[in-house]
A = this chain, B = another copy of it.
Amino acid sequence: MTLELPDLTPGQFNLVYNMFSFTIATMFAAFVYFVLAQKNLAPKYRVSMMVSALVVLIAGYHYFRIFGSWDAAYALEGGQYVFQDDQPFNDAYRYVDWLLTVPLLVVELVLVLGLPKGESGSLMARLGFAAALMIILGYPGEVSGDASLMGERGLWGFISTIPFVYILYVLFTELSSTIQRQSGRVAKLLSNARLLLLATWGFYPIAYMIPMFSAGYPTETPGAVVALQVGYTICDVLAKAGYGVLIYAIAKAKSEEEGFVVDEMVKPASAEA
C-alpha cells in the first residue's frame, strides 16, 4: 500500500514531518518511562506495563519508518514540496503497526483488571483475536483501487466494523460489572481508559472513510492528506502513550489499595533491626 501523494506547500509538508518526529520522541520516551515505572507497581500489575512498553516501542519503530518514508517521498523544488514518483509513501507501516499493537492494547486493559486466571485468559484471547481480525479485514479495502462507499473500500470497511462492534460490546457490557466491582477511584480510571479507547479507536473508521467522500483522493486533495496523517498521529499518541499512562495510573492505584507501598519495600537495613 504505497500512496501517490499530491504536492504540498512547505507549511503542509512540515506540519506532517514535525508531527511524525514529535511522535517518535514521545513513543520512545514513553517506552523508557513504562519500563522504569514498573518497579513502582505491585508485581502482579507489572506485566500490564510491560505490554504498554512493547506497544510504544513498536509504534516508535514504525513512526521512525513512516518519518523516513515521508521525508524521502518529497523534494523541495522552487519553494514547493514536490512528490517523487520513484519514492512512494509507504502507508502500510500503519497496518503492520496496528496488527501488532491493537491486540496488545486490549490485553493491557484486561491485565490491569487483575481478574482470576481463567477469566482473564479467555477475555484476552477473544478481544485480541477480534482486534487482529478488525485490522486484517480493513486492509483489502485500504489497498483496493476502488475507494467508493459501495465498492471494495466500503465493503471491507463494513466487514471490519463487525469485530470492532464486538470489542465495544464486550467492553461496555461484559466488563461493566467487573469495573463496578472495583473501588471508586479505580472504577473511575477504568471508565476513563475505556472512553479514551472508544474516542481514539472511533477516529480510525472515520479516517478510513475520508477517501470515500473526497473526490480525487489522494493526489488532488492535499488538505485531506495532511489532515489524515496528522489525525492518525494524534490518535496513535493518545491511544498508545496516553492510554499507557492511564493504565499505569490504574495499576498504581490498585497496587496501593492492595497494600503495596513502594517506600516500604526498600527500608534501610538499620531500620529492620
Contacts and interface: CB of A to CB of B under 8 A. Distances in A.
Interface of A: 1-2, 10, 14, 17-18, 21-22, 24-26, 28-29, 32-33, 35-38, 40, 42-44, 47, 50, 53-54, 57-58, 61-62, 65, 75-77, 85-88, 90, 92-93, 96-97, 99-100, 259-272
Contacts of A43: 40, 262-263, 265-266
Contact of A50 (B17, B37, B75, B86): B37
A264 B259 contact: no
Contact of A54 (B2, B32, B264): B32
Given A21-B96, A96-B22, A265 B264 contact: no
Which 8 pairs across A and B sit closest by C-beta, in order of nearness?
A: A264-B269, A22-B96, A76-B86, A43-B262, A29-B54, A264-B268, A36-B50, A25-B58
A158 B76 CA distance: 33
A30 to B, nearest CB: 9
Nearest to A261: B268
Q: Is the interface of A mostly helix, strand, loop or mixed?
A: helix
Contacts of A99: 22
Contacts of A42: 263
Count copies of this chain in the complex.
2
Contacts of A40: 43, 47
Contacts of A75: 86
A116 to B, nearest CB: 14
A14 B100 contact: no
A263 B47 CA distance: 12
A53 B25 contact: no
Contact of A14 (B1, B10, B17, B62): B1
B269 A265 contact: yes
Given A32-B54, A61-B24, A61-B28, A18 B265 contact: no
